[in-house]
């Protein structure tokens, strides 16, 4: 496994590997967990070369968000990536990704202001900008993202379509702890009590999903069922509870297959998200 921190180093490392076959890319912000591992494994199954980036992207954090305390665990991350057979890891500094004077941004428009984009203004502009640059540098045939960041997936699909970026986005299922908590780098902020409180997110989705499975099609009723679970949990503050079309992130009235149940909530000072995609009906 080669670890490179410069753009020249990345290009040279990948140039030497490209003729092996398809290149898969997993962009990350580090603090890797089994959710990331599943993305790397998916790339390893599908591609001959796998590259991973680790970059805590400052432009996707708001002024009062957790950029400075975001977990940074580079040594453990590199060990994990080595053991999963990754070929190249790109660990740029902010100066490499955003050299002095950099001013170009990628903005997908209104889509980027929905769900997490509504709660975190500018977040998806930061995500789209950094992922566009990473795609440009790595030029992968496949790129792997977790379904947990469902709104991010919608934004990046739009970006890839609009800019005709020749990459296929592969969305991998949410990886959960045995008790249902969706894996997230931010789970490590949680105290033991908050960790228990956080289980309400997956319980809320299960309630919405169960109601849908019983034949309920009114999105409002699914939303209320999910809200009821979250409102019943002391120590948790709802950010959003939504039933949306996964492509547009706009609310739907009646659900059909592929609709997204999405929740975001604050547990203490930690904002957590989770979602479920309704199966074919």
| Catalytic sites, residue numbers | 36
- Cβ proximity to ligand PAF: between 36 and 203 the closer is 36
Q: Does residue number 153 form part of the binding site for ligand PAF (CB under 6 A)?
A: no
Cross-strand bridge partners of residue 254 = 218
- Cβ proximity to ligand PAF: between 255 and 272 the closer is 272
Residue 123 CB, shortest distance to ligand PAF, in Å, is 9
Looking up tokens 């509870």 gives 241
Residue 229 CB, shortest distance to ligand PAF, in Å, is 26
For the CA atoms of 72, 77, 78, 79, the dihedral, rounded to the nearest 10 degrees, stands at 130
Q: Which part of the chain contacts ligand PAF (CB under 6 A), choosing from 23-31, 71-79, 163-171, 252-260?
A: 23-31
What is the footprint of ligand PAF within residues 120-149 (CB under 6 A)?
127, 130-131, 149
Binding mask of the shown chain, residues 41 to 80, with x at each position contacting ligand PAF by CB under 6 A = ----------------x--x--------------------
Residue 111 CB, shortest distance to ligand PAF, in Å, is 15
Q: Residue 139: is it exposed, middle or buried by C-beta count within 10 angstroms (0-12/13-18/19+)? A: middle
Residue 160 CB, shortest distance to ligand PAF, in Å, is 13
How many other C-beta atoms lie within 10 A of the C-beta of residue 177? 16
- Cβ proximity to ligand PAF: between 133 and 203 the closer is 133
Looking up tokens 């020249």 gives 8
Q: Does residue number 26 form part of the binding site for ligand PAF (CB under 6 A)?
A: no
Q: Does residue number 39 form part of the binding site for ligand PAF (CB under 6 A)?
A: no
Lay out the sheet containing 236-245: strands in order across.
Answer: 236-245, 259-267, 270-277
Contacts of 201 (CB under 8 A, 6+ apart): 181, 182, 230, 263, 265, 272, 273, 274
Q: Which part of the chain contacts ligand PAF (CB under 6 A), choosing from 22-30, 105-113, 196-204, 237-245?
A: 22-30
Rounded Cα gap, residues 12 and 132, in angstroms: 20
What is the footprint of ligand PAF within residues 82-111 (CB under 6 A)?
none
Cα–Cα distances (Å) from 4 to 17, 131, 192, in that order, read 14, 18, 37
Query: 23, 14 in Cβ contact below 8 A?
Result: yes
Binding site for ligand PAF (CB under 6 A): 27-29, 57, 60, 127, 130-131, 149, 152
């Amino acid at each position: 496994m080669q670890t490179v921190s410069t753009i020249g180093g990345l290009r040279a490392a990948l140039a030497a590997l490209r003729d092996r076959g398809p290149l898969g890319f997993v962009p990350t912000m580090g603090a890797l967990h089994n959710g990331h591992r599943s993305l790397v494994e998916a790339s390893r199954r599908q591609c001959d070369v796998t590259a991973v980036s680790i970059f805590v992207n400052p432009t996707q954090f708001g002024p009062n968000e957790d950029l400075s305390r975001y977990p940074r665990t580079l040594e453990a991350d590199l060990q994990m990536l080595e053991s999963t057979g990754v070929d190249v890891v790109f660990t740029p500094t902010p100066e490499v990704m955003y050299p002095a004077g950099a001013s170009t941004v990628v903005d997908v428009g209104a889509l980027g202001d929905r769900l997490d984009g509504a709660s975190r203004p500018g977040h998806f502009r930061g995500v789209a900008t950094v992922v566009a640059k990473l795609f440009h540098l790595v030029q992968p045939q496949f790129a792997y993202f977790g379904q947990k960041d469902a709104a991010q997936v919608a934004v990046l699909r739009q970006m890839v379509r609009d800019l005709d970026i020749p990459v296929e986005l592969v969305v991998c299922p949410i990886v959960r702890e045995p008790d249902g908590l969706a894996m997230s780098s931010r789970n490590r902020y949680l105290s033991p009590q908050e960790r228990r409180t956080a289980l309400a997110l997956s319980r809320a989705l299960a309630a919405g999903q169960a109601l849908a499975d019983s034949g309920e099609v009114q999105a409002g009723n699914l939303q209320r069922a999910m809200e009821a679970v979250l409102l019943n949990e002391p120590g948790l503050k709802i950010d959003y509870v939504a039933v949306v079309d996964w492509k547009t992130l706009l609310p739907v009235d009646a659900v059909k297959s592929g609709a997204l149940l999405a929740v975001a909530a604050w547990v203490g000072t930690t904002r957590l998200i989770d979602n479920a995609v309704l199966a074919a009906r």
